[in-house]
């Protein structure tokens, strides 16, 4: 089956690297990240271990930055990219997934901006 997205990702907005303890969980399957790599006003990228998500289109996500005890739940996202970033051939290697935020409320936009601001 052909993936619903191409294995490329581009964001118009500036990306901010995330260097502290963070996580994102994709629902309903509870795919949990190893860490968030970067975030912007329009999306984020994270690393995780597992098989690819080629058959997934739209999901909900929960984002948590533990150092600031900040979080955002029930965020609608679209998978923009998903590809392997290590050479393990067993299918459960380290992967990089890019998510695009979709349909954010004004409160969610404000919280994303606060999360980005907290990174400085």
| Domains of the chain by residue range | 16-118
**Backbone φ and ψ of 114, nearest 5°:** -65, -40
CATH assignment of 16-118, among 2.40.10.220, 2.40.100.20, 3.90.70.10, 1.10.645.10? 2.40.10.220
pLDDT along the chain (120 residues), means of 10: 44 76 78 86 89 68 72 86 76 83 92 84
For 84, the enclosing helix (H) or strand (E) is strand 70-84
**What is this structure's pTM?**
0.78
- Give Dmax over CA atoms of the chain in angstroms: 42
Per-residue pLDDT tens digits for 62-84: 887 665 677 888 888 888 888 88
Cβ neighbourhood burial of 30 (10 Å; 0-12, 13-18, 19+): exposed
């Amino acid at each position: 089956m052909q993936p619903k997205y191409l294995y490329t990702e581009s964001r118009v907005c500036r990306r901010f690297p995330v260097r502290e303890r963070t996580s994102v969980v994709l629902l309903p399957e509870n795919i949990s990240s190893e860490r968030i790599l970067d975030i912007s006003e329009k999306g984020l990228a994270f690393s995780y271990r597992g098989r690819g998500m080629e058959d997934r289109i739209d999901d909900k996500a929960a984002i948590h930055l533990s150092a600031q005890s900040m979080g955002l739940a029930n965020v609608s996202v679209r998978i923009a990219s998903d590809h392997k970033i290590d050479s393990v051939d067993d299918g459960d290697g380290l992967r990089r997934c890019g998510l695009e935020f979709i349909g954010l409320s004004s409160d969610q936009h404000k919280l994303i901006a606060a999360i980005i601001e907290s990174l400085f």
